[in-house]
A = this chain, B = another copy of it.
Amino acid sequence: MKVTIKEIAKRSGVSRSTVSRVISNHPNVDEETRQKVKKVMEELNYRPSRLAQGLVKGKINVVGLIIGDIRNPFYSELTRAIEDILNAEGYMVVLCDSDYNPQKEELYLRTAEELGFAGVIMTSAMETKELLQTLQSLSCPVVLLNRYLRAFETDVVSFDNYNGGYIAAEHLIKLGHRRIAILAGPNNSTSSKDRLRGYSDALRDYGLEYKEEEVTYGDLRWATGYEFGLHLLRRQERPTAVFAGNDLMALGIIQAYLDNGLKVPDDLSVVGFDDIPAAYMGAVKLTTVRQPQYEMGVEAAKLMLERIKGIPHAPKRIIFDAKLVIRESTKPII
């Protein structure tokens, strides 16, 4: 049924090797022969099997992308960027939602190996022994996006999460806030931890006390922010500000307040993290730490491409700076 290289060879009166050469645009083919073969391929609507190519080459033009959850706009943007760059170079991207679950990541890495992926970009950020081990045994390049692994040296595109946390806290402090609640990201995520560390260092630098019991760890989803907002409303002593581990949760907190007749930033100042599109699409434009998602995705994809085709080189690290975008969700305390 399927037309193969053999068929093309027969019909154009040359050997399979020659056909293979025209497939891969090898220079050592007589122009006339090349045209003849191409014509036959056209007529028969021939498509070389990448599976077969992959088998002999040991690699396939596919790169895996591991992210936390595609429903988080932050990852959607990243994914889109990576896809744009990689597709343009003839690579496909295979998606994997890890749900921030190291086991899923590991399983996926294994599959990448089995399928002979050209590379894997990891955006999800957990750190376990098993994962590290799998990573070590991987035969394709890996680039880390917004995460780092002490025990695994590789190309990294990252963001200055520490400073991001710092300037977020600083902003709130300078606005006069003292009672600040924190809804951080998962505490097994390196980036979330860095943000929190920056945050607490800022408190210390400004002579404020950082209480471990003041921080709540969330799963980065909007609903979790909403729940947290509701929780704050039930408290006797409400904080005057809150620092959220990402925009989605920040937006959830704000909505909980609005839905209960309170005002933001009047009753609560909120600063988020990421600057997803939704941050400026709502009623209260969010003050947040901007991460250039698309650009970060682009850089990661480029690094991957370099690593796949290029000559070996020492691991590269690209770090994006944190920038606070001040909008309407924060205001000075009276």
Contact = CB atoms under 8 A, between A and B. Distances in A.
Contacts of A92: 94, 96, 111, 115
Interface in A252-305: 252, 255, 258, 277-278, 281-284
A283 B259 CA distance: 8
Given A70-B79, A70-B80, A71-B80, A51 B116 contact: yes
B115 A50 contact: yes
Interface residues of A, number: 49
A330 to B, nearest CB: 18
Nearest to A95: B95
Contacts of A278: 278
A76 interface: yes
A332 interface: no
A114 B50 contact: yes
A73 interface: yes
Interface string A1-24: 110000000000000000000000
Contacts of A334: none
B45 A49 contact: no
A212 to B, nearest CB: 30
Interface string A40-54: 000001011111101
Contacts of A113: 47
A181 interface: no
A147 to B, nearest CB: 21
Contacts of A284: 283
Nearest to A113: B47
A114 B49 contact: yes
A73 B60 CA distance: 30
Given A95-B93, A281-B251, A110 B70 contact: no
B95 A222 contact: no
Contacts of A51: 51, 54-55, 60, 115-116
A139 interface: yes
A255 B282 CA distance: 7
17 contacts: A48-B114, A50-B111, A50-B116, A51-B51, A51-B116, A70-B76, A71-B73, A76-B76, A83-B95, A87-B96, A93-B95, A95-B95, A222-B277, A258-B283, A282-B282, A282-B283, A283-B284
Given A47-B110, A70-B70, 10 more contacts: A49-B55, A50-B115, A70-B76, A71-B76, A79-B95, A93-B95, A251-B281, A255-B283, A282-B283, A283-B283
